[in-house]
Amino acid sequence: MAKLIDIDELADYLRLRKQTIYNWLHVGKISGIKVGGVWRFDRKEIESWLKTKKRSSKETKVGV
């Protein structure tokens, strides 16, 4: 079974404000599930999403 976390836990995990997460939900940048009026997020999906955002050191070097 998937490990679901709420918006407070996700905000702590990503070190973001809750409003940023709500904004990302609104524009479709991340996905979640609303259960009983509370947003829930699959921890594994969030981790996979983060891996797709990872850049290599070659991409982050300036002027290379």
Question: Has residue 39 been placed in a domain?
Answer: yes
pLDDT band at 2 (very low <50, low <70, confident <90, very high): confident
> Over the chain, what is the mean pLDDT?
88
Rounded mean pLDDT, 19-45: 95
Residues 30 and 49 sit within 8 Å (Cβ to Cβ): yes
- Structural domain count of the chain: 1
Question: Has residue 35 been placed in a domain?
Answer: yes
| Count, residues in the chain | 64
Rounded mean pLDDT, 12-26: 96
- What is the residue range of 10's domain? 4-53
Q: Is the pTM of this model over 0.85?
A: no
**Gyration radius (Cα) of the chain, Å:** 14
- Phi/psi of residue 23, nearest 5 degrees: -65, -45
Question: Has residue 48 been placed in a domain?
Answer: yes
Give the DSSP H/E element, type plus range, for residue 5.
Answer: strand 4-6
